[in-house]
């Protein structure tokens, strides 16, 4: 087979990089050029994050900051962009704002770190009081509210400029809206399977906004990864080998991870 060199403008061999899948979505401002199924356009099997080698279109690659460890920064390409984009798009990235983060999982803990890096006061809202110490002492949140404690919810009423809701399980959002100031914004980042109930009057009377956010475009993702490297926004990860994937999936189903598993593909799979 003839060896041919393909030039990618602005890139050199072994440059550290991150890759975004080219979904056909207007916010990406890109084109859909590859298959998102298990079989690629040339008929070969694809294994996603379990692959030992891959080929990526240069249009969907971002430059990786040298001071950001790849295994730590890997979750930023999804959870990082999702939360960063939500804060930026809805104007919740201004210093001095008071931001609430609902849920303290993979998305939530990154949302806390980005909001703090933007200079906001952050309140974590959770159903689990067990997460209070970690939210305050480890992640640097300023306050913690247990959402099923009426007194705590009443004390926090009308105090938040914005809320990033990262919970994917079905949950009542009406009590959360009461935590917003007039003109406050609630951004949905989780995706519950069942419809959520919303009393429109609580939005109308205080001119509140309920919106949604999902990942981000390539330009925004590059901005996010550079911002994270500059401001030390590092996800909490647990590195595992390929042999540990099945056990990790079981733990993930039980919520036993703080907060993202990262597979060490380079050291556990051999190139053929």
Q: Which residues contact 91 (CB under 8 A, 6 or more apart)?
A: 185
Selected residue with higher pLDDT from 154 and 268: 154
Lowest mean pLDDT among 20-29, 77-86, 141-150, 167-176: 20-29
Percent of the chain with pLDDT over 70: 83
What does the pLDDT look like over 204-247, one tens digit per residue?
A: 999 999 999 988 888 999 999 999 999 999 999 999 998 899 99
CATH tag for 17-77+232-268 (out of 3.30.110.30, 3.50.50.60, 3.90.180.10, 3.20.20.70): 3.90.180.10
Tell whether the model's pLDDT for residue 255 goes beyond 80.
yes
Helices (H), the chain: 70-73, 79-89, 106-117, 132-133, 150-156, 174-177, 200-204, 218-231, 245-253, 265-268
Query: What's the CA gap between 136 and 144, in Å, rounded?
Result: 7
Report whether 87 contacts 99 (CB < 8 A).
Answer: yes
**Residue 204: other Cβ atoms inside 10 A:** 9
CATH tag for 91-212 (out of 3.20.190.10, 3.30.70.1450, 3.40.50.720, 3.40.50.150): 3.40.50.720
- Three-state DSSP class for residue 184: strand
What does the pLDDT look like over 103-141, one tens digit per residue?
A: 999 999 999 999 999 999 999 999 999 999 999 999 999
Burial of 178 (0-12, 13-18, 19+ CB in 10 A): middle
Tokens 């201004």, residue? 94
Of the pLDDT bands very low, low, confident and very high (cuts 50, 70, 90), residue 32 is: very low
Report the greatest alpha carbon distance in the chain.
Answer: 72
**Mean of all residue pLDDT scores within the chain:** 86
- Compute the residue count for the chain: 272
The candidate with the shortest Cα–Cα distance to 209, out of 219, 200, 218, 221, is: 200
Residue ranges per structural domain of the chain? 17-77+232-268, 91-212
């Amino acid at each position: 087979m003839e060896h041919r060199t393909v030039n990618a403008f602005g890139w050199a061999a072994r440059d550290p990089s991150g890759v975004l899948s080219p979904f056909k979505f207007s916010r990406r401002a890109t084109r859909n050029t590859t298959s998102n199924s298990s079989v690629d356009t040339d008929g070969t099997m694809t294994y996603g994050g379990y692959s030992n080698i891959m080929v990526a279109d240069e249009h969907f690659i971002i430059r990786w900051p040298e001071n950001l460890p790849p295994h730590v920064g890997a979750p930023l390409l999804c959870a990082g962009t999702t939360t960063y984009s939500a804060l930026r798009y809805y104007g919740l990235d201004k210093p001095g704002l008071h931001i609430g983060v609902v849920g303290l999982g993979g998305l939530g803990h990154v949302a806390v770190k980005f909001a703090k890096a933007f200079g906001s006061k952050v309140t974590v809202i959770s159903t689990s009081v067990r997460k209070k110490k970690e939210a305050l002492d480890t992640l640097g949140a300023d306050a913690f509210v247990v959402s099923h404690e009426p007194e705590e919810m009443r004390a926090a009423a009308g105090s938040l400029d914005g809320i990033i809701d990262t919970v994917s399980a079905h949950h009542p959002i009406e009590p959360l809206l009461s935590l917003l100031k007039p003109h406050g914004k609630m951004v949905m980042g989780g995706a519950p399977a069942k419809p959520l109930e919303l009393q429109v009057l609580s939005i109308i009377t205080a001119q509140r906004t309920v919106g949604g956010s999902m990942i981000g475009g390539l330009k925004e993702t590059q901005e996010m990864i550079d911002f994270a490297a500059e401001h030390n926004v590092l996800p909490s990860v647990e590195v595992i080998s390929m042999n540990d994937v099945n056990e990790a999936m079981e733990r993930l189903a039980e919520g036993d991870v703080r907060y993202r598993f990262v597979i060490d593909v380079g050291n556990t799979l051999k190139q053929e």
